[in-house]
């Protein structure tokens, strides 16, 4: 092979770097985008008693390609109070979860990052420890803690603080406790990574210029953590909106989050198109905060 041919091939073949970057994208394309497009397709079909349980949207009949798109399910999703209500409820629960996670996780990750290095790693290990156990088992374990004869109620009654067991399970309390418990590490880990990099000289400089420690915290630490807070909050908020397992296991029958509605549509009502439309609407709903964050990041890209 001539040298020119080798050079030509070298230009045409993807470089190692391209391959490494392409691998996760290919994976996502195959196992996320393709199924997602399939779901979107279903959302424009109509349910029918068949296998699969929906009408084809493209048919070849008498030499004509017939495409039937039904927007009926999107209309239903956006007008039916069950759907709208569960969307709003999901957003509410996700927002409340994010807020509580922030209130608990922000100071905790700040203090962990400011602890001495040996203790710091130990504490972060403790934050990540739950990941060593299966998610489902951890959620089920909360039943044992929260139920009427559970550890928490038995302990409180033993202390004579309460006479009757607190209703912590199969209602909104159980739902919120489970959500906050499960999503807290996703908020604390990125915040910790931010705080641990925060240059201590900045706080010393603020102190040197006359700021009391709490003033330095409010004027330096908090504003500088804005982007980390937004990123960490989205990491909690976005999956929390679509959460299915925790409301199903710990929530009450009235905790109708959108994930549960979808599940019921798919598996109980066998109404795949409605469930698919609900999914499509949710993705669009979640793309909005992500797009906003992307724009924010782009605008501040040049800044450290």
Partner 1 sequence: MTYEATRPQKPPGQEAKADFVQIIDVVKKFGQATAVDHVSLSIRKNEFFALLGSSGCGKSTLLRVMAGLETPDSGRVIVDGQDITQLPPYRRPVNMMFQSYALFPHMNVEDNAAYGLRREGVGSSEIRDRVAAALDLVQMGKFAKRKPHQLSGGQQQRVALARSLVKRPKLLLLDEPMSALDKKIRQQTQFELGNILYSVGVTCVMVTHDQEEAMTMADRLAVMNEGRIMQVGTPGEVYESPSCSFCAEFIGSTNLFTGVCASEQAGQFACEDLAAPLQVRGPITVRMNRPARLSLRPERISMSFEPVGREYNWAMGTVEQYAYMGSYTLYYIRLPSGRLMAVDLSRLAVTSMHREPDYGDTVYLSWGPEHLVVLEQ
Q: Which residues bind partner 1 (CB under 8 A)?
A: 199, 201-202, 204-212, 215, 219-220, 223-224, 226, 302-304
Q: Quick one: 206 or 236, whose CB is closer to partner 1?
A: 206
Q: What per-residue string of b and e applies to 83-97 under the rule 16 or more CB within 10 Å gives b?
A: beebbebbbebbebb
CB of 219 to partner 1, least distance (A): 7
Helices 272-299 and 226-241 cross at an angle (nearest 10°) of: 180
- In 3D, which of 112, 102, 110 has the Cα closest to residue 221? 110
CB of 202 to partner 1, least distance (A): 5
Q: Quick one: 117 or 223, whose CB is closer to partner 1?
A: 223
Q: Quick one: 99 or 207, whose CB is closer to partner 1?
A: 207
CB of 102 to partner 1, least distance (A): 19
Q: Quick one: 11 or 299, whose CB is closer to partner 1?
A: 299
Decide: 84 and 78 in contact? Cβ < 8 Å: yes
Count CA atoms closer than 13 A to 21's CA, side-chain side: 5
Q: How far is CA 166 from CA 36, 96, 147, 158, 182, in A?
A: 42, 21, 9, 13, 21
Q: What is the chain's percent helix, strand, coil content, to nearest 5?
A: 75, 5, 25
CB of 232 to partner 1, least distance (A): 18
Q: Quick one: 170 or 194, whose CB is closer to partner 1?
A: 194
CB of 299 to partner 1, least distance (A): 13
Q: Quick one: 92 or 215, whose CB is closer to partner 1?
A: 215
CB of 216 to partner 1, least distance (A): 8
Cα(123)–Cα(108) distance, integer angstroms: 10
CB of 272 to partner 1, least distance (A): 49
The beta strands (E) that lie in 63-187 are given as 64-67
Q: Quick one: 29 or 202, whose CB is closer to partner 1?
A: 202
Cα(184)–Cα(187) distance, integer angstroms: 5
Decide: 57 and 69 in contact? Cβ < 8 Å: yes
CB of 302 to partner 1, least distance (A): 7
Cα(265)–Cα(275) distance, integer angstroms: 5
Give 260: exposed, middle or buried? Use CB within 10 Å, 0-12, 13-18, 19+.
buried
Count CA atoms closer than 13 A to 110's CA, side-chain side: 16
Q: Quick one: 81 or 117, whose CB is closer to partner 1?
A: 117
């Amino acid at each position: 092979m001539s040298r020119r041919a080798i050079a030509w091939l070298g230009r045409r073949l993807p470089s190692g770097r391209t391959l490494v970057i392409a691998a996760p994208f290919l994976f996502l394309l195959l196992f996320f985008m393709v199924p997602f497009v399939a779901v979107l397709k279903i959302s424009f079909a109509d349910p029918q008693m068949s296998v699969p349980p929906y009408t084809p949207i493209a048919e070849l009949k008498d030499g004509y390609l017939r495409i039937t798109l039904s927007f009926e399910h999107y209309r239903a999703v956006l007008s039916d109070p069950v759907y709208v209500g569960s969307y709003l409820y999901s957003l509410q629960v996700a927002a409340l979860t994010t807020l509580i996670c922030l209130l608990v996780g922000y100071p905790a990750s700040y203090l962990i990052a400011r602890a001495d290095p040996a203790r710091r790693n130990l504490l972060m290990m403790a934050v990540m420890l739950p990941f060593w156990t299966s998610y489902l088992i951890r959620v089920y374990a909360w039943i044992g803690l929260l139920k009427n004869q559970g550890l928490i109620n038995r302990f409180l009654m033993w202390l004579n603080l309460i006479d009757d067991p607190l209703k912590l399970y199969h209602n909104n309390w159980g739902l919120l406790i489970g959500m906050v418990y499960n999503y807290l590490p996703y908020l604390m880990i990125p915040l910790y990574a931010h705080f641990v990099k925060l240059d201590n000289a900045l706080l010393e400089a603020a102190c040197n210029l006359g700021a009391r420690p709490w003033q330095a915290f409010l004027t330096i630490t908090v504003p500088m953590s804005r982007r980390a807070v937004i990123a960490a909050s989205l990491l909690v908020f976005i999956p929390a909106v679509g959460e299915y397992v925790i409301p199903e296991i710990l929530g009450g029958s009235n905790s109708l989050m959108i994930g549960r509605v979808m599940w019921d549509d798919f598996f109980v009502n066998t109404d795949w198109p409605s469930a698919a439309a609900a999914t499509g609407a949710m993705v669009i709903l979640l793309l909005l905060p992500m797009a906003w964050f992307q724009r924010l990041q782009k605008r501040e890209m040049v800044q450290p």
